[in-house]
Amino acid sequence: MVGAVRRSRNRPIYGCGRLRYANRPYVLTNTKKEPMQKFILLRGHQGSGKSTFAQEQINVFQKQYPDAEIIHIENDLLMTDENGNYRFTVDGIEQAQRKGQAMMLNACKRAQQNPQQPMLIINSNTNQKGSACIHLMQQARKHGLLVEVYRLHNFYPNHHGVKEADVLAAYIKLNNNRLREEIHVKAMQPMNAETAALIEEMQQFSQRELDYDENQHTWVTEKYLRLGRRDFVAKITKRYPELSVLKYKRNVFYDNRFDEALREMRGLVIDNHNRIIVRPFKKQFNYSERIAKNSKYPLHLDDAQRVDAVVKINGFLGCCTYVALPPEHPSHAAAFNHQVIYSTTGSLDSDFAKMVESHCHQYEALFKAYPNHTFLFEITDAKDVHIIQERLGETLIGVIDVATGRHFREDEVNKIAAAYGLQRPPMLENITFGELKALLKTVKHEGFMVFDAETKETLFKLKSPYYLVSKFFGRSNENSLGRKLDKKHVDEEYYPLVDYLCEQRDTFNTLGEQEKIAFIQRYLENMIE
């Protein structure tokens, strides 16, 4: 057998279930000299010893095969120059990832074309995502390489200043995304009691009541940012590296894990000191979601209740915030201070963020007249095709005080729009909910944002049957319809439909394709009864 490995089996130390462990140092034993081509995938949080372990494997392989080709893929190495200077940037990590992918593919092809050439490909990134790891392993096997996977558990200080919360979140994510064949390498520097306690606290965090930050008027507290990392992404911006955009993860939708903090993470922008810089709308639920049996935010609304309804424009959200921080603010000297920040629900750097700037930079005088307020626009652009055709341009739909989180009332927004010549969406005031539902069946636009007529509280989004049916079938065909009935592949306004079809599975499966379409159309049209 080529490359036999001496392994020990022990009771697990980390996580649950039975794990495989490898002793260190890892030694290859080979009775006959045969060419070997191998792919080694390492998995581990920052500071787990991946680089050291990788070098050990390289040394052992080179001792056996002095003429071997070694391909070492590691993002940190790719972001380190010839003088040994490491520099992290968002662009740099993206370039490193692309280069690593190309290195992997090219090496696999060379291995397949030269089967007698000893070759070791070793990937020593964190490799947290199980599906990405499986893809790399399949790629290696497809080209004839042997595959080994190791998980590292050391807790050394990381050399690149990664925040402790991110390190521990990576550790937990790796525990939650184990690979069946990975070998757990016993730690030479195991976690201390304090770290173990913090990991336990992070794992139990979702079971506890949230704290509220009275100073910043937010549920996104220091504690949440430290302990709640499984549910959101903090994306450092390219334009202003001192800023991060917070966005809840996609699986929060279909696992129904929303809480008040995650609702705020719809493009919330914070600085390096966790101070809020841009405050967009909170996540608002569709009417169908709020009346669903499993709703975390249940609502009963009588047909006689009075509501205000603002027509929803079918575009994308753009946020514009002029930042003016006082001298005592910890980010006063940052590059983004005294700048207008243009953002979307997920980025300051995307093409959509650039579209926001191109549409809204003409209103910078307005933004500067209201410093530290986030102006919210619905942007319709020819480059962003939607099911419902709208007049192209920008429509002011809200203003939020960043410091307090106060939403300007619709009448206040109307006054600002009138003063600066801004477009506003049509609004229906003080009508009954029953009247609104009747009207909804006739409209040819996306629907309405619905507010309590008395308190002005935002209640829900109310999507029109015309929009729902148009969107669903405009992006479906007979071949993709079954796939569309999976929550992972549809937008959240269709989750009640998916739940209903699961309940009616036996009936639904007896129908032909056109009958299924008619079945879905009837449900969507009757959903608001």
| Minimum mean pLDDT range among 95-109, 190-204, 378-392 | 378-392
Which range in 32-46, 158-172, 387-401, 413-427 is most confidently predicted, on average pLDDT?
A: 413-427
What is the overall mean pLDDT for the chain? Answer: 85
Asked if the model's pLDDT at residue 140 lies above 90, the reply is yes
Residue 450's identity, in one-letter code, is V
Dump pLDDT digits (tens) for 288-347: 888 887 788 898 889 999 999 999 998 899 999 999 999 999 999 999 999 999 999 989
Cα dihedral sign, 344-295-429-471: positive
Contact 298, 287 (CB under 8 A): no
**Rounded mean pLDDT, 78-102:** 79
Specify the pLDDT at position 28. 45
Domains parsed from the chain with CATH numbers: 4-205 (3.40.50.300), 283-463 (3.30.470.30), 466-526 (no CATH)
Specify the pLDDT at position 45. 94
Residue 476 or 409, more confident? 409
**Rounded mean pLDDT, 87-105:** 83
Look-up of token digits 């680089």: 51
| Confidence band, pLDDT 50/70/90 cuts, at residue 476 | very low
Asked if the model's pLDDT at residue 252 lies above 60, the reply is yes
Structure tokens at 149: 């996977």
Do the strands 28-29 and 232-236 form a parallel or antiparallel pair, or are they unpaired? unpaired
Q: Which long-range contacts (CB under 8 A, 24 or more apart) does 359-367 make?
A: 359/318, 359/393, 359/394, 360/318, 360/320, 360/394, 363/320, 363/420, 363/422, 364/322, 364/340, 365/420, 366/416, 366/420, 366/422, 367/320, 367/321, 367/322, 367/340
Specify the pLDDT at position 163. 78
| Confidence band, pLDDT 50/70/90 cuts, at residue 475 | very low
3-state secondary structure of 246: strand
For 169, 277, 290, 407, the CA distances from 270, given in Å and listed in that order, are 19, 5, 29, 19
| Confidence band, pLDDT 50/70/90 cuts, at residue 525 | low
Asked if the model's pLDDT at residue 410 lies above 90, the reply is yes
Question: What is the rounded distance in angstroms from the CA atom of residue 319 to the CA atom of residue 281?
Answer: 9
pTM for the model: 0.67
Degrees to nearest 5, angle at CA 489 with 346 and 98: 55
Dump pLDDT digits (tens) for 199-235: 888 888 877 889 999 999 999 999 899 888 778 889 8
Dump pLDDT digits (tens) for 257-283: 899 999 999 999 999 999 999 999 999
- Helix axes of 495-503 and 513-526: crossing angle, nearest 10 degrees: 120
Specify the pLDDT at position 478. 43
Contact 503, 495 (CB under 8 A): no
Residue 212's identity, in one-letter code, is Y
Dump pLDDT digits (tens) for 27-46: 444 444 556 999 999 999 99
Beta pairing partners, 367: none
